[in-house]
Structure 1
Amino acid sequence: MKKKTTVNVAPGFFYSYAATETQIHDNRNVAVFFREKDLRPGTRMNLHFTRTSSNAAFLPRSVANSIPFSSKRLPDILSLFSVLSDSPEAEALEKTLRECEEPASAGETRYCATSLESMVDFSSASLGTRDVLAVSTEVSKKGTPKQAYTITPSGVQRLVGSKAVACHAQPFAYAVFYCHVTRATKAYLVSLAGQDGAKVDAVVVCHTDTSGWNPKHLAFQLLQVKPGTVPVCHFLPQDHIVWAPRR
């Protein structure tokens, strides 16, 4: 019998953060992260594919570069976009700015892209080539929001290269992506079939070196492993992007 694994598809992507007691309690029976050995045809997982951004549009780089992007300039940003200072929107904007200003973890290079051009430039420079491929999770036939999926017989395809750039959509007044590249990262395209007929072509990122992560990160709390001991994998939500060399 194939082992059934439960996975939440919206994990935290900031590896310097420690898990809160609430996160641990809420996810005690939900494996937000999973082991690479479970990434094989026939594995059954409970998944919930969601969009996490507000579908905000990218600004042209010239426009984005003219707008302040700093927590120190938050009042100016709120005024520019007519956002009330005591609103949930203001809180979300401030959180994104502060997370973009956090120092990188050991072995990680990070960048918050405020335009499509800057995202492409960062990804190409990080991968050492302009010939790059951008992939994201796609739900071709929608089913129920949360259900059991099975990896199809030929459903695991590894992308080229020993590292990949992952870009995660952040809540902001316009499109902002937190992009980062870490050492010893593998990226996969995984074909999934849902119980109700839903089809998903999902992106999976596996980190084979987690030695620089916070020892109290949620991944270690849920998997009951220590930093640097086993590869840690997670699916990406639909509006996040992985860049890898085309060949």
Structure 2
Amino acid sequence: MEVQKETLFQKYSISGVEKIADGKAVVCHKQNYEYAVFYCHKTDTTKAYMVSMAGADRTQAKAVVVCHTDTSAWNPKHLAFLVLKVKPGTLPICHFLSEDHVVWFSNKISAKTNQHLLVPFISFV
């Protein structure tokens, strides 16, 4: 999360959304070790968005949101389904990235050459 200035805990309103990735991604979750260890996995059905927000005190912030568009193979007892009261495969599941998580996705450089570049997005909350 990128915040304009250090602030106290407050409510934020979403002021803009920009899609930054669609499709395949590699997501790395920081593990609880004394040194940097990440659990990484690949997903083919992910969309990522940069979300602009404004705090109650008008502080501007940006954060990465990841949406899982195909949850049909997920465990029906996954916390997301219990909280949202939905079933696997019915709706995309979206969330802000947690602290120190990294997402790598393919982003087109040029529509003419159809070349791709792996671009990291790191979230620090």
Number of the residue aligned with 1:143 = 7
The whole-number CA distance in structure 2 between the counterparts of 1:200 and 1:166 is 22
**Superposition map of 1:88-167 within 5 A:** 137-145=1-9, 147-152=10-15, 155-167=16-28
Q: Say whether 1:172 aligns with 2:36.
A: no
Aligned mate of 2:97, from 227, 236, 240: 236
The whole-number CA distance in structure 2 between the counterparts of 1:200 and 1:244 is 22
Deviation at 1:215, TM superposition (A): 0.4
For residues 111-163 of structure 1, the C-alpha deviation after alignment (integer angstroms, 9 at most, x for no partner) is: xxxxxxxxxxxxxxxxxxxxxxxxxx322322223x211111xx211113312
For residues 39-68 of structure 1, the C-alpha deviation after alignment (integer angstroms, 9 at most, x for no partner) is: xxxxxxxxxxxxxxxxxxxxxxxxxxxxxx
The one-letter code of the counterpart of 1:171 is: N
The one-letter code of the counterpart of 2:78 is: H
Preserved CA contact (<8 Å) 1:206 1:233: yes
Deviation at 1:223, TM superposition (A): 0.6
Higher relative strand content: 2
Partner-residue secondary structure (3-state), 1:225: coil
Deviation at 1:238, TM superposition (A): 3.7
Deviation at 1:214, TM superposition (A): 1.0
Q: TM-score, normalised by structure 2?
A: 0.77
The one-letter code of the counterpart of 2:52 is: S
Q: Which has the higher contact order (CA 8 A, sep 6+)?
A: 1
Q: TM-score, normalised by structure 1?
A: 0.41
Answer with 1 or 2: which has the greater Rg: 1
The whole-number CA distance in structure 1 between the counterparts of 2:7 and 2:98 is 15
Deviation at 1:209, TM superposition (A): 0.6
Preserved CA contact (<8 Å) 1:141 1:197: no
Partner-residue secondary structure (3-state), 2:23: coil
Aligned residue pairs, count: 108
Q: Say whether 1:191 aligns with 2:52.
A: yes
Q: Quote the RMSD (CA, aligned, Å).
A: 1.5
The whole-number CA distance in structure 2 between the counterparts of 1:197 and 1:169 is 31
- Unaligned regions of 5+ residues in structure 1, if any? 1-136
- Unaligned regions of 5+ residues in structure 2, if any? 109-125
